[in-house]
Every structure is written in C-alpha cells, then in structure tokens.
C-alpha cells in the first residue's frame, strides 16, 4: 500500500494538477490532432498508475476506463467522450487540487467515480462530422469605382512628439519547478514510444521506468539524450543501462524531494542528501570509508562521508545565515537549507550543484560499474551455476540487487510484482530469492505462504520499516533486509542464504 503524502502534499498536488491540465488539453485536441491523441493515450495510462500508487482507486479506474474506451472502438479511432466528458473534468480537477493544496479532491468521497465510469460507458458516440465546403462565389465582371476620401484643405498643426521613454524591462517570472516537468514527460513519451512505462510512488519520490529490447539506433540515442537534458532541467535523476539485450531506463522525479533524505555525517557536520538524488551508496574501495553517489540526469557526483546514519523523512526548517559555511559544501555541491529528522536532530541539506552540461556520449550511456565496495580484489567466491530470483516492484531495487548477485556469479531472474514472482517460482528452481514485502498482486508473505516450499527457507524478505519486519517475524523465521540497503548488507544476506544450501562435496 502506498505511503500517505503529508508535508509535501501541496507540491505533489500542484504537480498532479499540472499533469491533469496538460492531459485535459490533449484530450480536447484528440479528435483533430493525431499526435495529441497518441500522447493522450499514454498520459491516461500514466495517470491511472500514478493515482493508484497514491491509493486513489476510484480516480485511477476512471482514467483507465477512458484509456480503454478508445481501444473498444478499434483501430486508431478516438472516442468523442475524451473531448466531451474527460477534458472539462480534467480542468475542474486541476482547479480543485490547486484550491485544496492536497489530493483530497481525487478521493472517492469527493467524486462518485463509479457513476462517472457508468456515464462514460453509456456515452453515445456522435455520428461522423460532415465537413461542408462553402461554394465559391464568382467575382463580378466589373468592380465599383473606388471611394476616394476627401482631404481637408488645411491640416492641423503637428503635435510635438513626447520624448521617447524606454520601457521598463519586464520582471522575469519566478522559476516554476512544476512547469519544468512538462518537457520531461514529453521526452519520456518520445523514448517510450508505444511501450507502457511503469510508475511507482513511494518514500517521497516517483519512479517512471521502461524497457526496450535490442540495440537501438540513432533515434533511440537522440531520444535518450533529450530525456537526459529534460531530466536535468526538471531536477530529476535518469538511470539508463544500454546493452546488446536492450535499454533499461528509469526517471526519478523529485516531486517530493524535501520529504525523504539520506542522513550522513561528513567532517563532523550532519548532512541530509535528497533521497530522490541518491543513486547508490556504500563503502568505498578497500572498505575503509563510505561514499554516496548522487545524480542529476545521467550525470553523477560522488560524495565521501564519514558515517551513513540512515534514510527517512525530514521537516524543513528556516535557514540561519550564520550557519552558511562555505567549507561544508565540497566542489560540485550546494547547501539548500536545514531539516530535522523524526528524532529532532538537525542537518544541513546538501544537493548537487545544477550546472548545464552536454549530453553524454551516445555509445556509453551509463555502463554498469562495479559497486565501490565490491573491488575486484575483494569480491567473494563466485556462485557459478546457482540461480536467484529478485522480486520487487521498484526497478531501482531490482537493478541494484540483480547487479550484485550477477557479480557473485548468480544467474538472475527478475519479477516486478507478486503474480510474476509466483509464476517464476512455479516455473523454475531458484537457489535463493529476494522478495519485497509489499508488491502489487502479492507481497512476500503471501508468496511464501503459497509456494514457500519451493524455496525451503532460502528467501530473504525486503522490508521498508519495523511494521513490515514484525509481519515477517509473525509468519516465521525468515531473514529480512531493510530498504534502502548497502552493498555490504546485501553481501551478508547472500552469504547467510548460501549457508542454508546443502553441501555438494
């Protein structure tokens, strides 16, 4: 179940309002603009998934019904209900969200979504519009003589012109972070094409992810470079792995960048790193110091830290100019105020400095690197011939775990929800498995209850908080791994699972 949005809800509401407003424009133009109709189809799917992740089931069902309505008609036809029913309602919803400053207007109590779905189902498509071309009227053979206005005999004396006063320069508009996200969604649509991106909203950020099979050409590289530029302009992080097998990409939107942080210590200072920026963290080569890798588009900035305190929500506080010390922020980073964690401890917010940069080389988008604390000289013995399953609805978690397991020698399969995890476990034998406690369809406990015998206790459950850990413990003695996790924690969990395998010697 999605976590409730609290302190950042006004910003989330404004971002969703802008998405609804843009969607309403696309729906209104869909009958006359083929490109707008295609973008509207994709936007409806995104909105349905996004609202479902916030627990707004009725609104999600309505947007999904809008998407299906056109499919029922067949071919590339576009339903007139988009322009007649949906476009006006999208504008109304956008205005309600802005007034409320929250997502409450989208709840089932604010709107009877079942009735709106029924109204959509009963909507009768109008007959095709007839285009009437007016007849061409022939010009008369002779034209009437032109009328010449009489000029007065005397003209009034000229009026001396006032001295020219240069106009005042216009006041530049205040930057609008939400407006910068519109080009980002358009760039996502260009890269995704007809594919359906997955949407996940948890821990104060939204992830939009997709995959494309096979090696792409110049068009894909250009679309990915455009997505990188749009992501940096919107303050988002782009993760992309391009290989012979295909392209896997994910955009992390900072819609609630102030809600969650990775708290660290550096040089005796308590720092809070925006969680939407964190790409990877763990031990540096040699295992002596910790480091955090933050992203801005495809760009990466590494920060050495003394201590990784933990990840969690933070409450923004008024900044104090006296605390603005230039020695806190290393090159490439900037300070952006203060926050307090759940225990009241204060920390300075350290973010990546936003600087324009050319797009990355097309041939090396983002190669899969060896994690910093898995130096080739210290990698544990390979687990060649063993097979692992990673089931998590977060693409970031799947990529992170799959990469570490592959470096240990495992053949890794992935599942993005409970149904896929169940099917994989029934289809193949896995020596170990990592299962997320909460996934669409079924969580780890439900899966282990049904098919746990196929793993014989060789599963580790991924949990995000103490409540999920207690649920796992009530089920039985099953190892857990708290999210977010570092490389050394994953390595320890893998070793513990391997210890449960029967000896083959």
CATH number, domain at 491? 3.40.50.2300
Beta strand pairing call for 459-463 and 432-436: parallel
**Within a domain: residue 442?**
yes
CA trace torsion 253, 258, 259, 263 (10° rounding)? 110
Beta strand pairing call for 346-352 and 333-340: antiparallel
- Domain final position from 105, 122, 139: 122
Expressed as residue numbers, the domain containing 113 is 9-122
Q: How far apart are CA 33 and CA 310, in angstroms?
A: 49
Say if residue 353 is in the same domain as residue 400: no
**Within a domain: residue 251?**
yes
**Within a domain: residue 320?**
yes
Say if residue 349 is in the same domain as residue 391: no
Say if residue 400 is in the same domain as residue 477: yes
Q: How many CB atoms lie within 10 A of CB 312?
A: 18
Say if residue 353 is in the same domain as residue 220: yes
Q: How far apart are CA 496 and CA 143, in angstroms?
A: 98
**Within a domain: residue 175?**
no
**Within a domain: residue 168?**
no
Element (H, E) at 336: strand 333-340
Q: Is 243 helix (H, G, I), strand (E, B) or coil?
A: coil
Cis peptide before 38 (omega within 30 of 0): no
**Within a domain: residue 340?**
yes
Q: How far apart are CA 482 and CA 459, in angstroms?
A: 14
Residue 459 contacts residue 446 (beta carbons within 8 Å) = no
Say if residue 241 is in the same domain as residue 269: yes
Say if residue 339 is in the same domain as residue 431: no
Residue 53 contacts residue 199 (beta carbons within 8 Å) = yes
Q: How far apart are CA 245 and CA 250, in angstroms?
A: 16
Say if residue 114 is in the same domain as residue 210: no
Scan for tokens 């939204």, then name that residue: 206
- Domain final position from 367, 395, 415: 367
Say if residue 342 is in the same domain as residue 403: no
Tens of pLDDT along the chain (505 residues) come to 334 444 467 877 887 887 888 888 888 888 887 767 777 877 787 788 788 878 888 998 899 888 888 766 665 568 888 888 999 999 999 999 989 988 899 998 888 998 998 888 888 887 655 444 444 444 444 444 544 444 444 444 544 444 444 444 443 343 344 455 667 777 787 777 767 677 776 666 778 888 887 766 777 788 888 888 888 888 888 988 877 778 888 888 765 444 688 888 888 889 999 888 888 877 666 556 778 889 998 888 889 888 877 777 888 887 665 454 456 788 888 888 888 887 788 999 999 887 554 444 433 344 333 333 333 333 344 556 789 999 988 776 787 788 788 888 888 898 888 888 998 998 888 989 999 988 888 898 889 888 877 787 788 999 888 888 888 888 877 888 887 777 778 888 888 888 877 765 4
Q: How far apart are CA 185 and CA 175, in angstroms?
A: 18
Q: How far apart are CA 474 and CA 472, in angstroms?
A: 5
Say if residue 194 is in the same domain as residue 319: yes
- Domain final position from 122, 148, 167: 122
Say if residue 494 is in the same domain as residue 415: yes
Say if residue 304 is in the same domain as residue 442: no
**Within a domain: residue 131?**
no
Q: How far apart are CA 459 and CA 121, in angstroms?
A: 45
Nearest to 472 by CA among 493, 430, 498, 444: 444
**Within a domain: residue 150?**
no
Sheet of 237-242: strands edge to edge?
Answer: 198-202, 205-213, 246-253, 237-242
Domain count, the chain: 3
Say if residue 393 is in the same domain as residue 362: no
Helix 57-73 and helix 113-122, axial crossing angle in degrees, nearest 10: 10
Q: How far apart are CA 333 and CA 301, in angstroms?
A: 9
Give burial (CB, 10 Å; 0-12/13-18/19+) of 140. Answer: exposed
Q: Is 14 helix (H, G, I), strand (E, B) or coil?
A: helix
Residue 27 contacts residue 6 (beta carbons within 8 Å) = no
pTM for this entry = 0.44
């Amino acid at each position: 179940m999605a976590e409730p949005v609290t302190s950042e809800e006004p910003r989330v509401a404004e971002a969703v309002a802008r998405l609804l407003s843009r969607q309403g424009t696309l729906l209104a133009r869909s009958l006359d603009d083929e490109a707008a109709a295609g973008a509207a189809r994709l936007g409806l799917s995104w909105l349905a998934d996004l609202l479902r992740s916030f627990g707004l089931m009725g609104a999600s069902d309505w947007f999904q019904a809008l998407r299906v309505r056109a499919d029922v008609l067949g071919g590339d036809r576009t339903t007139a209900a988009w322009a007649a029913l949906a476009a006006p309602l999208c504008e109304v919803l956008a205005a309600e969200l802005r007034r409320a400053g929250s997502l409450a207007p989208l709840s089932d109590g604010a709107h009877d979504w079942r009735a709106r779905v029924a109204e959509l189902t009963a909507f009768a498509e109008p007959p095709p519009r007839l285009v009437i071309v007016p007849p061409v009227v022939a010009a008369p053979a002779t034209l009437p003589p032109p009328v010449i206005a009489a000029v007065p005999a005397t003209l009034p004396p000229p009026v001396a012109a006032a001295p020219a006063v240069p106009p005042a320069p216009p006041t530049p508009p205040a930057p609008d972070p939400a407006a910068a996200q519109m080009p980002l969604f358009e760039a996502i649509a260009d890269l995704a094409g007809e594919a359906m991106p997955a949407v996940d909203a948890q821990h104060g950020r939204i992830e939009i992810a997709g995959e494309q099979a096979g090696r792409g050409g110049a068009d894909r590289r250009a679309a990915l470079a455009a997505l990188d530029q749009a992501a940096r302009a919107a303050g988002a992080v782009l993760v992309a792995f391009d290989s012979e097998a295909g392209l896997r990409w994910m955009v992390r939107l900072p819609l609630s960048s102030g809600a969650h942080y990775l708290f660290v210590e550096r040089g005796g200072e308590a720092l809070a790193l925006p969680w939407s920026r964190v790409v990877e963290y763990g031990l540096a080569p040699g295992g002596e110091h910790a480091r955090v890798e933050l992203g801005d588009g495809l760009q990466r900035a590494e920060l050495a830290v003394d201590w990784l305190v933990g990840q969690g929500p933070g409450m923004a506080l008024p900044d104090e100019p006296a605390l603005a010390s230039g020695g806190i922020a290393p090159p490439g980073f900037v300070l952006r105020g203060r926050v307090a964690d759940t225990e009241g401890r204060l920390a300075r917010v350290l973010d990546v400095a936003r600087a324009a940069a050319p797009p990355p080389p097309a041939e090396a988008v983002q190669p899969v690197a060896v994690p910093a604390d898995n130096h080739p000289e210290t990698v544990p013995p390979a687990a060649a011939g063993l097979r692992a399953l990673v089931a998590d609805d977060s693409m970031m978690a799947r990529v992170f775990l799959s990469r570490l397991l592959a470096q240990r020698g495992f053949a890794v399969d992935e599942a993005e929800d409970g149904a896929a995890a169940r099917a994989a476990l029934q289809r193949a034998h896995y020596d170990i498995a990592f299962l997320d406690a909460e996934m669409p369809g079924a969580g780890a406990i439900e899966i282990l209850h049904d098919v746990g015998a196929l793993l014989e206790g060789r599963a580790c459950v991924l949990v995000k908080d103490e409540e999920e850990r207690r649920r796992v413990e009530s089920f039985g003695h099953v190892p857990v791994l708290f999210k977010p996790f570092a490389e050394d924690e994953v390595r320890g969990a893998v070793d513990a699972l391997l210890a449960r395998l029967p000896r083959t010697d």
